[in-house]
Amino acid sequence: MATRNSILRCGYLLPRVLLLWALLDVMLRFAPAQWSTFRASEYAMVTGPHDMGPYRTNFTYQNPHAYGDLASLSNCIDCRRYRPMIIHADGRGFANTQSSGSYNAILVGDSFGIGAEQPSDATLGSQISQRTGLSIYNACWPGRTITREQLMELIDQLGMTGGTVFYELMDRSLGSVLSSEEDPAPLRINQWSKNAEYSPLANLSRQIVGRLHNGQLMPNPDLANAARKTLPDGQTILFFNEDLQNATPRKTAFFAKYFRVLNKELHQRGFRLIVILVPSKYTVYQPLIKDARGTNKSKAMRELENQLDVPVANTTTALQQAAAEALKHGELLYWPDDTHWNAEGVRVAAAQIQSEYLADFSQRPGIAKVKSVSQKRVR
């Protein structure tokens, strides 16, 4: 018979605690994802069957109380701005409601093109589609873009024999250093290893520990993971630390060469390439923040634009001007607790892309002009 002293022994207690943990973890795997996850990256990207895209296939992730990645990264509970997050992943694992359709354009890019925190009609792909009349397949991937080989494979799968490829490039890419001057290697999700690594109970545990280490009850060791600044109107805004770094000439030259090669390959398939240059939140708001150190990324984006012989929609100036104007009314174009833009930021960028698209079309002989759905101007 177990006595009090024997129950308290580590050899008796620890196995039972571990067994209870394992049982709870298994049970939570069958519960709704929003019970134990707070962002899509904690579930939709690491569990279930995967194909070409970043998310589990034929899956919808919903969280009515999501918050920004920077607030999560720095464990800044006071910085959180709760809002819905929803992602519909198609049979390939990309953010589309359906895998097949009569597509005549593809959007390639990073998480700025996914728009998980925007209404479905306010994502970058939806806004470009509304303004150009194109049917766009969203092939964006958080934190990276698909390779040229993956893009060509996707074109074949969609059965497209021509059209437009919009390539969204964020200025952060001009500061990152690649290990080689080659196309980044394709990233394939190992379903079994990812499922084994995933733990819903670990997600909940991190949230509990984060609540304790909030800088009040206990020190917050993650606070420095995001830069915290104050806007002229007193609003607190977070920035990704890497966005405060300068661009490198090597990366500008790399992408100039990359786009020349990609454009040649697409041209052979009957496609035209339009490059979308997107500034980081820091590039947009740094001119408005007192004593904020500037970077050379706006200049690097202009240099890249000048080196390309394809249509380029450089949204930097439009977003900087619109951000300054919106701030007069206490409004932002980017989420204060997140890396990404909000619906208004997308609208400003899409208007700039629309102008470049229509201007490029008007220069092509024998092609009828496309009448845009919207003629909104950037405020």
Total residues found in the chain within this entry = 379
Please state whether 321 falls in left (phi above 0), alpha (psi between -120 and 50) or beta.
Answer: alpha
Angle between helices 316-327 and 343-362 (to 10 degrees): 140
Q: How far is CA 160 from CA 102, 136, 259, 313, in A?
A: 9, 12, 20, 24
Spatial contact of 118 and 335, defined as CB atoms under 8 Å apart:
no
Q: Determine the Cα–Cα distance for residues 79 and 96; give it in Å rounded to an integer.
A: 30
CATH number of 9-362: 3.40.50.1110
Q: Determine the Cα–Cα distance for residues 353 and 276; give it in Å rounded to an integer.
A: 7
Q: What's the confidence (pLDDT) of residue 340?
A: 96
Q: Where are the beta strands (DSSP E) in 54-162?
A: 59-66, 83-89, 105-108, 136-138
Task: Single out the residue of 375, 355, 354, 369 nearest to residue 129, CA to CA.
Answer: 354
> Encoding tokens for residue 207?
């949230």
Neighbours of 329 (CB within 10 A): 7
φ, ψ for residue 322, nearest 5 deg: -65, -35
DSSP 178-245: -SSSSPPPP----HHHHHHH--HHHHHHHHHHHHHSSSSSS--TTGGGEEEEE-TTS-EEEEEGGGGS
Q: Determine the Cα–Cα distance for residues 119 and 97; give it in Å rounded to an integer.
A: 13
> Encoding tokens for residue 224?
């420095």
> Encoding tokens for residue 336?
């204060």
Q: Determine the Cα–Cα distance for residues 275 and 352; give it in Å rounded to an integer.
A: 12
Write out the chain's pLDDT in tens, 379 residues. 555 555 556 666 677 666 776 677 666 666 666 655 665 555 555 556 778 888 888 988 888 888 999 998 898 988 999 999 888 999 999 999 887 778 999 999 999 999 888 888 999 999 999 999 999 999 999 988 999 999 999 999 999 999 999 999 999 999 865 444 445 444 455 544 455 566 666 666 666 666 666 666 777 888 899 999 999 999 999 999 999 999 999 999 999 999 999 999 999 999 999 999 999 999 999 999 999 999 999 999 999 999 999 999 999 999 999 999 999 999 999 999 999 999 999 999 999 999 999 887 656 544 333 333 333 333 3
Q: Determine the Cα–Cα distance for residues 135 and 100; give it in Å rounded to an integer.
A: 11
**Alpha carbon 121 to its chain's center:** 17
Task: Single out the residue of 42, 171, 43 nearest to residue 109, CA to CA.
Answer: 171
Q: Determine the Cα–Cα distance for residues 259 and 271; give it in Å rounded to an integer.
A: 13
Q: How far is CA 291 from CA 230, 362, 378, in A?
A: 11, 44, 28
- Judging by DSSP bridges, how do beta strands 136-138 and 163-170 pair with one another? unpaired
Q: Determine the Cα–Cα distance for residues 334 and 332; give it in Å rounded to an integer.
A: 6
> Encoding tokens for residue 353?
């892309």
Residue extents of the structural domains in the chain: 9-362
Please state whether 162 falls in left (phi above 0), alpha (psi between -120 and 50) or beta.
Answer: left
Spatial contact of 67 and 84, defined as CB atoms under 8 Å apart:
no
> Encoding tokens for residue 365?
């002989």
